[in-house]
Structure 1
Amino acid sequence: MARVLVERRLRDVGARLRRLREELEVTDEQLAQLEGEADDARIRALVSETPSAGREHSEAAGHADAMRRHRAAVAGEISQLEASQDELLDRLQASRA
């Protein structure tokens, strides 16, 4: 692959990594909030023992689970891009040699 193309792909991968890392930070904050809400709803469901409190807990837990899956997907994409970036850096280094 031509050096110019490798450099362009490196810039693209770097920009995508920055965006995903920012998204991961936001996702972590949202996940912490959702987990707190799910925990509060669980306690309310235990104390009140009403069907509506149980539904609220299930719903809150579902939101937290969805955010966990989203976080895992973002983290996985970051890992893939980091591997791609390493490969591109190796190619760039080889082209300089």
Structure 2
Amino acid sequence: MRNRDLLIGFATGIAAAYLVTEIYNRSEKLYPADDVLKEVKSAFKDEGPIDGSWIFMKTEPYKQHAVTTEVYKGGITRHKEDELQQFEFLADAYTGAVIEVKQV
């Protein structure tokens, strides 16, 4: 066996390991309190202090048009100009991206 063949086999093995790792990480759900809620809270903190927050630990199915995914449902409470504001949000369970925010 020549060095070139060994190098090609080694490079192929590394590429395959990288692809398998990427596929596994994309199919794994994020942890709601540590990953998702922390990200949403940091976005709301840009507009002012937060009084409270919550998130359901179980996912819910969410369908919008032809796309179906699983989401975490949560909420944020804050005071702005002496007025209590409450928001509910839906965040994708796999990416953490906020799909919907509505003021309650």
TM-score (norm 1): 0.33
TM-score (norm. length: structure 2): 0.31
